[in-house]
Amino acid sequence: MTTRVVLARSLRPAVRRATGVRALGTPRAFTSYNGPVAGLTPEQEEFRDNVANFAQKEIAPRAAEIDKKNKMPADLFPKMGDMGLLGVTVPEELGGLGLGYLEHTIAMEEISRASASVGLSYGAHSNLMVNQLRRNGSEPQIAKYLPKLLTGEHVGSLAMSEPNAGSDVVSMRTRAELDKSHDKYIMNGSKCWITNSPIASTFLIYAKSEKDAKPSKAITAFLVEKGMPGFTVGEPLDKFGSPPPSATIAASNQLTVTPLFQMRGSPTAEIFFDNVEVPAENVIGGVGNGAKVLMSGLDYERLVLSGGPLGIMQAALDMTLGYTHEREQFGQKIGTFQLMQGKLADMYTKLSASRAYVYAVARAADAGKVSREDCAGAILYVSDRCVEVAMDAQQCFGGNGYINDYEVGRLLRDSRLYTVGAGTQEIRRALIGRMFNEAIAKGQDHL
């Protein structure tokens, strides 16, 4: 029987308790996670436990290999599909779990705790692609594309950024011109830093389609399929920290130094469009509404992706707690030294404060009160704290923290992604400041 993530009693009336649920995974090592403080309902705790058990069994044991080989295992997306994790916010009648953004964020957290690389690809697929299709797609588009995205047979990818249009997305140069036949668009241009692009089958592409329109009405969103003539995916990008994946550096003693990247295993590449014919029926959200589709999705993107840093922090703290209570110096466990206790306490409180903020924003979103400044604020706050916690973890490991036999170094490398991905920290701060300015200029007494 297909295993599904289920709840004993759903927050959504339409969600039923499925039968035949089995617990996955073996008992985990000591964790600092505090359920009552997280404020989850019993149903949400059960959801979290099921996702955690799945991730610790199916993903965590392979995390080091994924990082070393820089390759996403082909079976992981179908397995996440079997669990229902690829459609957390998709209604049951469409094949999803019909749950909320809090559960989606929890899933992102637990998968990222097992492997940040898998978590990043999961978030790009389940939120940036699936959730956007669910929110903006037409019935025919949903019927055509959603089923295989939910099972994991197809992987999804969103393409927005370009070499000269990262944070300034409306300056994109990729164009889609309506053909004289009026039944297709001709797309030309390129996109860069596109997560999942080397393994994706379905892409959500943003391109300028309206020449004379103002910037907010010039962009249209399109569904583009792998294999369309003229659509190509480049080689995976060389990421922060080292030479290309195939390179090794010869040392004087004939040993080799293995290259290191952040988010290895989460494939990222450039994509190119050379007179790609995109059917007019593949426009999603309406012609000229691409900016609206994009901006509305960014709030949910920032919120759900905030679970990534939470998972990295939880993994870093749990690894550090285990290590500091095994490693001995001066005849005692290093975790019993007062200075080390202080560092562990700081890591724990940073994680706990981050989780409280993210979960609060997710609960508000589920109540229909999406806060743009707080979606930006959540990922801003947790991303900075994540880097700090990962650095503290590496410091607690001493010299071993710089050795690849210990996974804590990978967590530090991966933590840096969230300070630039899904918008830089500077853009997030600017957005929050602008929200204050606009509210005050309008004479509002609160945001």
**Two tokens at 244?**
């290309």
C-alpha 394/C-alpha 377 separation (Å) is 26
Backbone φ and ψ for 158, nearest 5 degrees, come out as -110, 135
C-alpha 122/C-alpha 119 separation (Å) is 5
Q: Cβ(23)–Cβ(50) under 8 Å?
A: yes
C-alpha 281/C-alpha 223 separation (Å) is 9
Give the residue from 414, 383, 421, 422 showing the smallest Cα distance to 115. 414
Who contacts 164 (Cβ-Cβ below 8 Å, separation ≥6)? 171, 173
**Two tokens at 198?**
């080397």
DSSP designation for 162: B
Largest Cα span, the chain: 81
Catalytic residue among 43, 110, 301, 373: 301
Q: Cβ(187)–Cβ(278) under 8 Å?
A: yes
C-alpha 401/C-alpha 424 separation (Å) is 27
C-alpha 42/C-alpha 53 separation (Å) is 16
Q: Cβ(6)–Cβ(299) under 8 Å?
A: no
Q: How far is CA 49 from CA 5, 101, 166, in A?
A: 9, 17, 37
Assign residue 273 a region (left: φ > 0; alpha: ψ between -120 and 50; beta: otherwise).
Answer: beta
Q: Cβ(185)–Cβ(179) under 8 Å?
A: yes
| Cα dihedral: 386, 391, 392, 397 (round 10) | 130
Q: Cβ(232)–Cβ(275) under 8 Å?
A: no
Does residue 388 have an active-site annotation?
no
- Counting Cα atoms < 13 Å in the Cβ hemisphere of 268 gives 24
Q: Cβ(224)–Cβ(205) under 8 Å?
A: yes
Q: Is 217 exposed, middle or buried (0-12, 13-18, 19+ CB in 10 A)?
A: middle
Q: Is 239 exposed, middle or buried (0-12, 13-18, 19+ CB in 10 A)?
A: buried
The catalytic residues are 301
